[in-house]
Amino acid sequence: MRLSRWFVLVGVLSVAVPATPAEQEWRSLFNGKDLTGWDTWLGVPHGKGKDQLIGLNKDPIGVYSVVDVDGKPAIRISGQVWGAITTTEEFENYHLKFEFKWGEKKWPPREKQKRDSGLLYHCVGPQGAQGSYWMRSQELQIQEGDVGDYYPVAGGVADVEVVRGKGPATYKKGGEKVTVPSKEIGGRVVKSVDGEKKGEWNTVELFVVGRTSVHVVNGKVNMVLTESRQTVKGKDEPLTKGKLQLQSEGAEVFYRNIAIRPITKIPDEYLGE
């Protein structure tokens, strides 16, 4: 009897023990059915005046939708009007992971240019701060041949280790530390390696802890930012948390398997240490 009760007690205790962090980390940001958890934003359509701004949660031509692609649900962004979908939540200290694939459609004024979108993170302040389209943020570029590039948006600032040559500076671990944007560097840093798979689904990861962030494309680290900050009334302030945006920027693109988990440390292998 005592032995039986002991086994029962052990069973109860084993059930009551909380799951390990690895078992409870990942949380989906896309339910596969609709855009619950996201706001839509559309700026001024190409060729229109400022009074034609579409704005928040208004999508008269279906720029944002949920569709089936390759047998699985995905968020479709047509790109026809520039803007973004934005998480309703803010995030800090996390590992984000998702997949993207290019569609076929392209729209003015980029109908003859590379397909373009982007992940904006640490998004703060008003919608449409840059050009009526995007919030103040840091950008992990999603553009054909340029996935992982860094752009500061509407007052975002960061330090990056680079090598300089002709054209934009390129990220290089151990290189010269520069501030972006700046007069000397401009407003872009090119990724160190091109990990994009043409015409296929690509996996993008973002690691963020404190003021450091790491861009990873198909398992390859190609950008590390440090001292993330924002310029507010001429002064720098830390920029370490905010919402996430996926851009609509002239090209059809699909996103799926969007998930996030909290972390307290970026693994050393992603920092090149």
DSSP labels, 182-236: BTTTBS-EE-SS----TTS-EEEEEEEETTEEEEEETTEEEEEEEEEEEEETTEE
For residue 231, the model assigns a pLDDT of: 87
Query: What residues of the chain score a pLDDT lower than 70?
Result: 1-24, 273
pTM of the predicted model as reported, rounded to 2 decimal places = 0.90
Residue 8's pLDDT is what? 39
Q: Which two tokens stand for residue 198?
A: 């043409």
Q: Which amino acid is at 44?
A: V
CB–CB of 83/59 below 8 Å? no
pLDDT of 13 reads 36
* Segments making up each domain of the chain, as ranges: 23-264
Domain 23-264 is in which class? mainly beta
